[in-house]
Amino acid sequence: MPHFETSGEAVTAYREYLSDVQKTKSMEWDDLAASLASWQELRDSVSAALQRDTVRQAHGYPEETFRAVHNSIAAEYQRLALTTPRTYREVLYLKEQGMPTARREELQRQSEKLQPFFASLDTIPLYKDTPEKALERYDHFLSATLENGIADKRQFLDYLRNEDVLFRSYLTRLPELAGTSMSGITEKTEKCCLLAIQSAGKPDFPVEEAVQYLTLRTNRRLLQNATACMKDIGHGRLKSPEQAQAYLWMMMQPLMGMDGGRIALLTPEQREALYKLADNMPAAIGRLCDVLGYDKERLEGMPMLLLKIHLSTL
């Protein structure tokens, strides 16, 4: 990673980088991903130099210039990325490989420390409830958690363990429940996650560790949900436009919500499932559009939109 002594030196280097990118007419996809990773390393170095430089000009010239140059670089990368239609797989690849290698490897090491806990969750048997009972049991657990609270790491992990089996049990009833409002459970889940974070901040349970657990939990849920939807579509279990609309949203969530950092936290099996989801999306969307009465062309540009959103957030 480059090091700059002054903010002026850093901003000059950033301008030169912009000039180089502007001269680039096109790039192979893997080269573009590598270039994005290099850009982020440079961005971080420039930003660090601006923060270190104690000689601040009153009008904030270096910071303003940095933001302007940064936005211009982002626009150039959008130009390079959006020259031709892209696939969902290409979107994921750019997110994953377009982050600095050192950062990706550090996240993978962090994930490996926590993954044994999540692997153990798969050994817990599911409830064999009716759809109504599955929701009732889930809702009751969340209400009880809000009433009793989460006091420490042991209770935090107990919450994740119990929530996971209830969520997976709910997924077995997804076709029957896809049109049912989940707003109550969603609201209570958000409050429970806040309680979970608040249980951390102790010497034996840092907030950062709690956040990592919750991030892995969310990754796991998004993939399980999307995989269940894809399986139902493959087995012809679409029954209504309402269900199709819900499935479309649930399958899009991992592709929309996972950036390079969150992809780095996945296990090899989860990463494979994510890319499989991406590969199967066009066919699945075709079936959903048949049920919804949509023109498939309305959704064909979604990968390009996801790329645009991703590049604008770097």
- Does 77 have pLDDT greater than 50? yes
Residues 86/307, Cβ–Cβ less than 8 Å: yes
- The tokens of 268 are what? 């090899």
The residue type found at 98 is G
pLDDT band at 178 (very low <50, low <70, confident <90, very high): confident
pLDDT digit string (tens) for 264-287? 999 999 999 999 999 999 999 999
3-class SS of residue 229: helix
Per cent of the chain over pLDDT 70 is 97
The Cα–Cα gap between 274 and 258 comes to 10
The Cα–Cα gap between 164 and 117 comes to 12
pLDDT band at 309 (very low <50, low <70, confident <90, very high): very high
What integer best gives the mean pLDDT of the chain?
94
Residues 89/307, Cβ–Cβ less than 8 Å: no
Which residue is associated with the tokens 């001269």?
23
| Residue 51 confidence (pLDDT) | 85
Q: Provide the 8-state DSSP code for 125.
A: P
Nearest to 135 by CA among 161, 174, 162: 174
| Residue 59 confidence (pLDDT) | 47
pLDDT digit string (tens) for 207-262? 999 999 999 999 999 999 999 999 999 999 988 999 999 999 999 999 999 999 99
pLDDT digit string (tens) for 32-55? 999 999 999 999 999 998 888 755
Cα-Cα-Cα-Cα dihedral of 124, 136, 273, 253, to 10°?
-150
Q: For residues 70-90, b (16+ Cβ closer than 10 Å) or e, as one string?
A: beebbebbbebbeeeebebbb
Q: Is 91 exposed, middle or buried (0-12, 13-18, 19+ CB in 10 A)?
A: buried
- Does 179 have pLDDT greater than 80? no
Q: For residues 268-301, b (16+ Cβ closer than 10 Å) or e, as one string?
A: eebbebbbebbebbeebbebbbebbebeeeebee
- Does 194 have pLDDT greater than 80? yes
